[in-house]
Amino acid sequence: MRCVFAEWPLLPCRLVRSRLGVWLGLLAAVLWRLAHGVSTADPAAIAVLTGTLAAVLCAAALAGLPGDRAALAHRLLQPTSSLAIAAGRWLAATSGACAVVLVLAASLGWSPSGTVVHSGAIAAGMVAAGAVSAVVLCGVLVGGNAIAVLAFLWLLLVSVAPPEALIGMRHHGAVTFTGAALLEIGPAVWRYRGIATGDPGAVAHAALWIGVGIALATWGVARLGARRL
């Protein structure tokens, strides 16, 4: 566990010394304005969208930069393992995203005309952040921040709708059915909104992707280390 927590201090360093803090602040400001300006906004959707998008930004900043992947290709002086590195980076990314969810929820709670984000919605945002952090982490370890850009756009523009919305479109095709399959299988805003109301299936889905994502991220770290040998 000490090796896992040894990776966490990278988060505050990146918040201060890179643009990560700026991007997270801009994301929180935009979503705050959305929730504040739309009286019918769903608190669970706002919290989950905040958690997932912040998770993408954090995972990309902690493992997707070329320097990060190059550093992981070297053997570290301290005794550690690929699993400890992957789990530590996931913990750091999830912590950063959860902090954004909490800050947004608190700011909306203080606003008299904003959307009140209740505890169930906050929990949904945090669980969703954990799942997306794990998946994006393994993606950026293999493909760099291009994967993070695609994940950000997918979560923002597509994953808010259920698979039935794509299948119900007038023009069907391979792209439509592929998108619907991805919405059904992968982490998505529409699914994790159910965590706010205690949906056990959504919680199990997120837990499964956390495990799979960390396992694949462990493989990604080991793969980078093997290149150096």
Q: What percent of the chain has pLDDT over 70?
A: 86
- Tokens found for residue 178: 């592929």
Contact assessment for residue 137 and residue 59, using Cβ atoms and an 8 Å cutoff: yes
Q: What is the pTM of this model?
A: 0.89
Distances (CA, A) of 31 to 55, 100, 110, 123, 141: 14, 11, 15, 17, 28
Instruction: Return mean pLDDT, the chain.
Output: 86
- Tokens found for residue 156: 């923002």
Whether the per-residue pLDDT at 80 is higher than 80: the answer is no
- Give the pLDDT confidence of 2-26 residue by residue, as tens digits: 778 778 888 988 888 889 999 999 9
Q: Where are the domains of the chain?
A: 2-228
H or E segment to which residue 139 belongs: helix 119-143
Q: What percent of the chain has pLDDT over 90?
A: 51
pLDDT score at 78? 56
Q: Distance from CA of residue 153 to its chain's centroid? A: 12
